[in-house]
Chain A
Amino acid sequence: MNYTHLHTITNFTFLSGASHPQEMVTRAAELGYSAIAITDECSLAGVVKAFSAAQKCGIELIIGSHFFLSNGITLIAIAPTRIAYAELSGFITLARRRADKGNYEAHIEDLRFRLQHCLLIWLCDPINDNNESTIQLHADYLTRAFKDRLWLGINHQLHSGEQQHFERWQQLGKEWGIPLVAAGQALMHSSKRKMLLDSLTAIRLNTEVQKLGTQTRANSEAYLKTLGQLEKLYPSALLEETERIREQCNFSMEELQYQYPRELVPAGFAPDQYLRHLVRQGEQQRYPQGTPPEVTQLIEKELGLIIGERYEFFFLTVYDIVEFARSQDILCQGRGSAANSVVCYCLGITEIAPGQINVLFERFISKERNEPPDIDVDFEHARREEVIQYIYQKYSRERAALAATVITYRRRSAVRDLGKALGFDPIFITHLASSIAWWDERTEWEQRLTRLSEQLRESNQAFILPSQQKLHLFFDLVNELRGFPRHLSQHVGGFVIAQDRISDLVPIENASMPERTIIQWDKEDLETMRLLKVDVLALGMLTALKKTLRIIQKYQPGIQRLADIPAEDDATYKMLRMADSVGVFQVESRAQMSMLPRLKPETFYDLVIQIAIVRPGPIQGGMVHPYLQRRNKKEKVTYEHDDLEPVLKSTLGIPIFQEQAIRLAMVAAGFSGGRADELRRSMASWGKNSDLEKFEEEFITGMLTRNYSLDFAVRLFEQIKGFGGYGFPESHSASFALLCYASSWCKRHHPAAFYCALLNSQPMGFYSPSQLIQDAKRHGIVVLPVDINRSEYENQLEKTAANNLPTEYFPNPQPLFAIRLGFCQISSLNITAAQQIARWRGNKPFTSLENLSRRTPLTATDLGQLAAADAFAQLTGDRHESRWQAAALKPYISLLENSEDQHDLLSMPAPSLEKDMQDDYTSLGLSLRTHPMALLRNQSPFNRCKTQRELASIGHGRFVRVAGLVTGRQRPGTAKGSMFVTLEDETGNINVIVWQQTQVHFREPLLNAQLLMIKGVLEINATDSETPVIHLVAGHLQDYTHCLKNLSVNSRDFH
């Protein structure tokens, strides 16, 4: 018997379906169905995933959607052709766009005029369809509108009275000449998902499963049944009718072709001519002395590939966006190997010149794959919105939309929602969710949960604990729910731009941000469907660099653009070798910092390697140690075969970049460019499925035929597997390295401007403003407080007589600048007011608070916020007096005469240092006064702790105790369960390693403490670097947060 399943609701009908589209399709293939239709409710969000699975299983996929119309009709629309697909997608767009995010509004009138090629299955609803006259009216309307494209869908779920309803609908079918078809609804691929299905219903209805009553499914029959079961449920004619519908469906997702926008080519030009023209223009600018012959050759090769694959429009689209940014003075930079091609260099999309890195252009443009190149363009994060609005304006909302990001359940969210759905006590759920660390494995989590239950049970707390049986159910459900889609959100910046309406390709719906629309597919779906996506990304460092340059050019006009920064500056590299990289792009994390003294970068290319090597791929592939050995000349650089030298020479014979893995496959194993790229894609999805292993045999055989040893071939493939999904492409690394170098140079030569710009570009980067200021102060930069008579809105440089820059570090006289904090640092101050204060002040400083109040329209709240930030200290003397005076000012003060007694002195003393610090943190999130640790230093037990500065002079292996504010917690997947904690004291940052066993013992302080005292063994690695790498291996941790009282310190925790 042949059968097509026509009614499948996947988990992309959020919180309704209980199986992934892939599970549905795979199960349908296992059951021997001819085809399966994915019919999510007013959505095509899951169809691409189903399509991928269908291709793998070799089952036919039909695209459809399920609708509840506003007049009560329930139906499935199926797209048998490409035109019908466009209609369906357009109809979903219409229904979604007229409702709020996550909802839709579909009317039967729209259906009639918009779905002129779709097949319709009218679903009989035995519960709600009980008004005979209404049914007759609907039947009349639908048969007239859809004639021979209409079926009556029979959905047998072993509910009460189905037999009678079937007879009634059979009669209706006869009466109106509508054929009947089996359309049993599947919400699960297997009936075992019933528990999850009910739980999802409870989550959707925001109640508990126990309270759902008849709102749950009465049974677990909504699953994909065997053919035998179906034969028992439906008359054979109804099952055969499913095949008749399938036979009418000729549409395949592969037919979805994509047209790039064409209006970018001016009249009189063919697209290829215009691209050549632009490249030629750029060439003249880039090489005023004449283009070197090897570059000309490369340009021709690349243009040949681009034009051959008809990607001119893609490059022109990116060029157009970048040109707009440039015209608006928005800093931007392209990324990726296509972006780092010579063509893009000439088009101004990238600043990476040919020869700086080894571009593997085939990676993104391959003749074997009809797949578009991927270019990411980073823009200043503060101005990216302007670029987005430009795209919308130029291409309209019908032709441009953002890609979606599917928000899925993680363990913590699954615990919260399922705990609530199972009726667990809210206190218990909170305990449960907070006890889960991001690194927990299932087994240890289960053990912890059991322990927690026992502890709570013993503590006799006033709440009810779930039974052991329920906890077991809960474990299983949490694991099933993990990875389930929860809702669609907008991608960080992936734009899809088309020549015609995008809704012909994929439905568009409203995003939560007003005036934003997203398509229903995510990045992976777009890649699968080979659709063009331009990533318009926001990068904080570009904003920071732009602002830095703007400050520098005020006193050193020679530095205006990134290109003006001198290349290969020794002092800059020296600074990086000393791991002095707080605030520097890409190399500011703790792992990068500890690598810098070991890798000792001396050139730009070293930075490219530095950025790529501290990644899970090279670390797990075991590439780091051999590379460092070779770089430090402790190991000879050798190659297994001469053919490998050109591929691996730049990285001393060790594969570090993703491109090298692909090149190795091509050079050593004889893979074609396209096949090698398939390998790359498999590497990217390694871990989620075992696709990569299918290349193993081909790879090893290929190498053996090229006379490589079996041992080497196996080892190389293992290394490639080690790269997993985490290998970093050289092309991305190079673009990042450029910004890394620029930011390092700024930090080295213009530290005040650099820190000032970083502070003005927040939020960005790895460190909080407080940490950046601590670092600036350690570099001798004077940071001045917010002052009503000196501050601007943003932080500014201010000429100062005193400058503490260390002479050994800055031998040449530096401009004497201090950073004056701006009003922008006062988080709760009204932005509009904050931006106007400097204008109101002009050149005439405020003489008193009354004077300020008379000259500005600042409200009492604004004045209070300024007083709280101690911005009036120069006028009043101290914060208490500021607040006292500010509280007395009234908006009507301008009506009063000067003689009016406004000034009544406060009899309270000035606040203590501790109090001032607390208020600084509350108002500004930072304090320029003494570091909190310096205040605590004389107290026990902190007086017995070593400071960061003292650690270097203590011997390796010594037992010490340290204390500090917790400013970072990291537990990288590559660290074999170790956790890295950063403590900040008054002298610097202390790096602490906490082994797994220690984490178990000191879990609470480790997770929650803001101020930690740690006892441990000092590890100093000073053998092969100018700057020793110092770590403390923790043995004992103790939480002293209570000593901070109200000081609130934000730690940066990374998953």
Chain B
Amino acid sequence: MTNNSVLSPPAIRLWLAIRLPANVSHPSIDTSENGVEKKLMELCETLYQFTPHLQIYISGYTNANGVLLEISRSLTLFGGIQILLDAIHQQLQIQNISQHYHHALAHTAQAAWLCSFLDGQEQHVPYIEQKIMAHQPEQLRQFFREQLQPLPVTCLEEFPRAITALKQTGFVLLGDIIQQIQVSGLRSFTKRFGNEFSQYLSDMLDISQDLQQTGLFSAPVPIFHPEIPFIERVDFEFPVAQLDLLQPGMELLLQKLSNYLQQRQQQCQMVEWHLISIYQEREIIRVHCDTPQQQGNLLLDLSLIQLEQYAFRFAVDQLELHCPFTSSLQGQTYHLDFSQQSPNHKTTQDFTLTTAKLKARLGNSAIYKISYKDDHLPELTNDIISYHKTAWQALPVLQQQALRPKWLFAIPQTIEHTATGLQWRGHLQLLAGPERIHTHWWDTPTARDYFMAQRYDGLRLWIFKDLQQQRWFVQGVFC
């Protein structure tokens, strides 16, 4: 009696690994962490049509990532492995990544993933198909084990310590590990490298303790649940082309969005309004908010501001609200402001609305901030920065204590130095000084003596003598 006959053997499974290469420079693949996850989710959604048994694989050690598909249950539907593979390839072509992926088949998800690193090795699809059809799981397992053998032990990247120890003990290829299991079973790995590593080997090879003993229990196959984005629609009784007529519909949809977000403990920063005519013409208007929202009030205000500027090309028959991206509410920290009435909260809301109005009317680039910039040279002490950046407002003590005018010229004005003295729209008389500034030797060496001067009419000016050019300038005016 063989081990296999003790319990009924698990059904044959066939996994397909689709691996996106590391550091691919394809424009369609955003290689940032969030970008990769998003891309893989999109890929899963695409591949969902072939099998519901999908799982994402993102390596924590290398940049490799991809999707694993269990396809044994889809073979009949699609008429065989090759046809299914071709269909998947075709779909990936549509996704524009057909040139950038590696794929491999194996009897376990882990083995399929590892086999995807066997570049250029033929997998003999007809042979695999034949073994599946003939229901010969042991031969199939043996076949895939042989496929795995030439892979280096370094491919077990999730276990870096085990890899080092294995290499130091003479293991070079996965074949060496398989050979060792043949000699002393999985136990020898369990006691050296721990249960987790041993479990991985067991899952990868689909064995229990040794190569003859198939895994007693099949691991459940994961089922992919595609994300359903928020899309809600209202139909108007008659086409409308005025904002005040659209507004009730918008309020209704935003209320639904609020309920949706609250139920899922989510929030969003962007919504899309789809305006649809009776002829199915469609206009999309995106509304962004600086801070994530769960309630629809601010989004409504911002939407109305944006739509005020909008010239309706057609009368709107249907209005859809899409919210494609949401984030978890837990990721955000809040002040404990139960009333929501604190002055700060109110100011922030007002400021957001005001800036949103300005941005809506003038464009993003028209809004900026002025910040202090720490420098000895007066004309370099302010800086124009983007609206999103934090301005430096606290002056250093040195600048607070120093004699500085309220009004500084961006470009110092030339003073005439005549025989009668200094002239700038009138005669100047020095009152206090000098304050010497001698700096910027690393780019444009500057040496100046600053004075407070008074014009004949009583206006007090901040003037300096450029010690290199021996010329006088007005830097600012005391108010």
Residues of A with Cβ closer than 8 Å to B? 126-128, 130, 158-163, 194-195, 198, 209-210, 213-216, 218-221, 422, 470, 473, 868, 880, 883-884, 887-888, 890, 904-911, 919
Contacts and interface: CB of A to CB of B under 8 A. Distances in A.
Contact of B398 (A194, A214, A422): A214
B183 A219 contact: no
Query: Which of A195, A422, A905, A907 is the most central at the interface, judged by chain B CB atoms within 10 Å of its CB?
Result: A907
Closest 10 CB pairs of A and B: A213-B374, A908-B170, A904-B184, A160-B402, A158-B436, A219-B438, A880-B170, A887-B192, A219-B436, A160-B435
A237 B450 CA distance: 27
A160 B450 CA distance: 9
Given A887-B192, A911-B170, A210 B442 contact: yes
Contacts of A163: 432
A888 B188 contact: yes
B187 interface: yes
Given A130-B401, A160-B403, A218 B438 contact: yes
A908 B435 contact: no
B436 A890 contact: no
A218 B193 CA distance: 63
A552 B176 CA distance: 51
Contact of A218 (B176, B403, B439): B439
Nearest to A211: B374
B213 interface: no
B76 interface: no
B437 A213 contact: no
Nearest to B176: A908
Contact of B183 (A214, A221, A907): A907
B171 A908 contact: yes
A475 to B, nearest CB: 14
Interface string B174-191: 001001101111011001
Nearest to B441: A195
Chain A contact residues: over half helix, strand or loop, or mixed?
A: loop
A940 to B, nearest CB: 27
Contacts of A126: 401
B399 interface: yes
Contacts of B403: 160-161
Interface of B: 165, 168-171, 176, 179-180, 182-185, 187-188, 191-193, 373-376, 396-399, 401-404, 432, 434-439, 441-443, 447, 449-450
Contact of A883 (B165, B182, B396, B450): B165
B442 A473 contact: yes
Given A210-B442, A888-B192, A906 B401 contact: no
Nearest to A126: B401
Contacts of A130: 401
B380 to A, nearest CB: 9
Nearest to B179: A907
Given A128-B397, A213-B396, A887-B192, A218 B437 contact: yes
A161 B401 contact: yes
A163 B184 CA distance: 91
Nearest to A470: B442
A888 B185 CA distance: 14
Contact of A906 (B170, B434, B439, B442): B170
Given A887-B192, A887-B193, 12 more contacts: A126-B401, A159-B436, A160-B435, A163-B432, A214-B374, A219-B438, A883-B169, A884-B169, A890-B191, A904-B187, A906-B169, A909-B170
A919 B435 CA distance: 69
B434 A158 contact: yes
Nearest to B435: A160
Contacts of B176: 907-908
Contact of B438 (A194, A422, A909, A911): A194
A908 B169 contact: yes
Given A161-B401, A216-B439, A218-B439, A907 B180 contact: yes
A218 B442 contact: no
B442 to A, nearest CB: 6
Contact of B169 (A158, A162, A195, A887): A887
B278 to A, nearest CB: 56
B398 A158 contact: no
A161 B398 CA distance: 11
Contacts of A158: 434-436, 449
Contact of B168 (A160, A473, A868): A868
A1018 B347 CA distance: 87
Given A198-B441, A214-B398, A906-B180, A159 B170 contact: no
A218 B168 contact: no
Contacts of A907: 176, 179-180, 182-184
A908 B450 contact: no
Interface centre among B165, B373, B399, B401 (most CB of A within 10 A): B401
A194 B179 CA distance: 72
A887 B441 CA distance: 63
Nearest to B398: A214
A127 B376 contact: no
A221 B443 CA distance: 20
Nearest to B376: A218
A218 B185 CA distance: 76
Nearest to A890: B191
Contacts of A162: 435
22 contacts: A127-B398, A130-B401, A158-B435, A158-B449, A159-B402, A159-B436, A160-B402, A160-B403, A161-B401, A213-B373, A219-B436, A219-B438, A220-B438, A470-B442, A880-B168, A880-B170, A890-B191, A904-B184, A904-B187, A904-B188, A906-B180, A907-B180
A939 B138 CA distance: 48
B180 A127 contact: no
Contacts of B439: 216, 218-219
Contacts of B165: 883, 887
A216 B402 contact: no
B460 to A, nearest CB: 15
B468 to A, nearest CB: 14
Contacts of B185: 904
B383 to A, nearest CB: 12
A221 B435 CA distance: 11
Contacts of A890: 191
A422 B180 contact: no
B169 A880 contact: yes
A215 to B, nearest CB: 8
A495 B92 CA distance: 79
A198 B376 CA distance: 13
A214 B399 contact: yes
A708 B33 CA distance: 88
A216 B376 CA distance: 9
Nearest to B165: A887
Contacts of B188: 888, 904
A158 B449 CA distance: 9
Interface centre among B169, B373, B397, B434 (most CB of A within 10 A): B169
Nearest to B448: A219
A905 B402 contact: no
A127 B438 contact: no
A198 B450 CA distance: 21
A883 B168 contact: yes
A218 B435 CA distance: 9
A213 B169 CA distance: 58
A906 B188 CA distance: 9
B177 to A, nearest CB: 10
B163 to A, nearest CB: 13
A888 B169 contact: no
Contacts of B170: 880, 906, 908-911
A888 B184 CA distance: 13
Contacts of B169: 880, 883-884, 887, 906, 908
A1052 to B, nearest CB: 29
Nearest to B168: A883
A369 B439 CA distance: 50
Looking at B165, B396, B397, B436, the one whose CB has the most chain A CB atoms below 10 A away is: B436
B191 to A, nearest CB: 5
B435 A905 contact: no
